[in-house]
Amino acid sequence: MFLSRLGVLTDEVSDRYEEALDWAAEQELAHVEVRVVDGQNAASLSDEQAMKVRRLAEARGLYISAIASPVFKCALDPARPVATGDTFGAPEESVEAHFDKLSRVIALAELMGTTRIRIFSFWREREPERYAEEIAGHLRRAADIASQAGVTLLLENEASCNGGSAREVAELVRAVDSPALRALWDPGNEAHAGNEAYPLGYETIKPYAAHVHLKDACFGPDGKARCVPLGSGDVPVIAQLRALAADGYEGLFTIETHFVPAGGSRMTGTRMTLDALRALAKEV
């Protein structure tokens, strides 16, 4: 059952790391991903902080499943206009600086007891296809580094990046052709970008998916996309979860709602999605 492999991004619950851990333990989740810890991007933690992050999680019966890093959320060429997105406190840096960041995050992953690192595909160019070989070349270099370190890089579909859709991520992973680079499938991101998450997006990315983020999204009357509690948006959650089970997906699931109800908190929004997941599980 997927619930036994379910975790949460801690800062989707609270900025205070220990408060998020307490909540995750109370909810009997299996694991946590780290992106921001007490207001600090996980990629910038010290060795001592990383060991504490792990120690505090394990003391509550949890484990660190992945570092949700901002690696390669940067411009291929600062002279070209590109889309940008949230870096969760990480500064804008060059491609080479991001390779240094990757090496640092690999070291942090070892200290935290995980072998999974979320990465991206550089800020989105106006014509991403023109730079496909350059992007794949950088990702291939990153995969070689990861392979030598014994870690897996998870390339997420993110609209602000060149791998903005399931199809684009699948093409990049296929081009790199390394077991050290797999796809992080986020059907909510696919819906938020205005694409069909299931079945079209899933069928495209399925051969490469090694990790799943769970969120939902829809378009409001104003035509703008927004995140909503799981099961209330454009992602056919039951069908997607059934397909993952039928296809033998054995990876992890992580709640990443990006939803805060009016007058509520991130913890409330995440709890709404968790409650929905528990109800939906009865139909999977």
In a domain, 236, yes or no: no
In a domain, 32, yes or no: yes
Give Cα 101 distance to the centre of its chain: 17
Pseudo-torsion of CA 197, 232, 227, 167, nearest 10°? 0
φ/ψ of 148, rounded to 5, equals -65, -30
Q: Residue 284: pLDDT above 90? A: no
In a domain, 278, yes or no: no
- Model confidence pLDDT, tens digit, residues 138-148: 999 999 999 99
Domain count of the fold of the chain: 1
In a domain, 31, yes or no: yes
Q: What percent of the chain has pLDDT over 90?
A: 97
User: What CA–CA distances, in Å, run from 214 to 14, 124, 180, 183, 186?
Assistant: 17, 23, 23, 14, 6
Q: 86: helix, coil or strand?
A: coil
Indicate yes or no: pTM above 0.95.
yes
In a domain, 100, yes or no: yes
CATH number, domain of 131, equals 3.20.20.150
- Model confidence pLDDT, tens digit, residues 230-264: 999 999 999 999 999 999 999 999 999 999 999 99
- Model confidence pLDDT, tens digit, residues 82-98: 999 999 999 999 999 99
Phi-psi region of 122 (alpha: psi -120 to 50; beta: other; left: phi over 0): left
In a domain, 171, yes or no: yes
A 10 A CB-CB count for 75 gives: 19
As a whole number of angstroms, the distance between CA 226 and CA 229 comes to 10
What is the band of 1 on the pLDDT scale with cuts at 50, 70, 90?
A: confident
- Model confidence pLDDT, tens digit, residues 185-232: 999 999 999 999 999 999 999 999 999 999 999 998 999 999 999 999
- Model confidence pLDDT, tens digit, residues 152-179: 999 999 999 999 999 999 999 999 999 9
Domain of residue 16 covers 2-210
Q: Residue 268: pLDDT above 90? A: yes
What is the band of 120 on the pLDDT scale with cuts at 50, 70, 90?
A: very high
pLDDT at position 111 is 98
As a whole number of angstroms, the distance between CA 93 and CA 164 comes to 20
In a domain, 130, yes or no: yes
In a domain, 257, yes or no: no
Average pLDDT over all residues of the chain: 97
User: What CA–CA distances, in Å, run from 8 to 42, 66, 194, 224, 226?
Assistant: 15, 10, 25, 26, 20
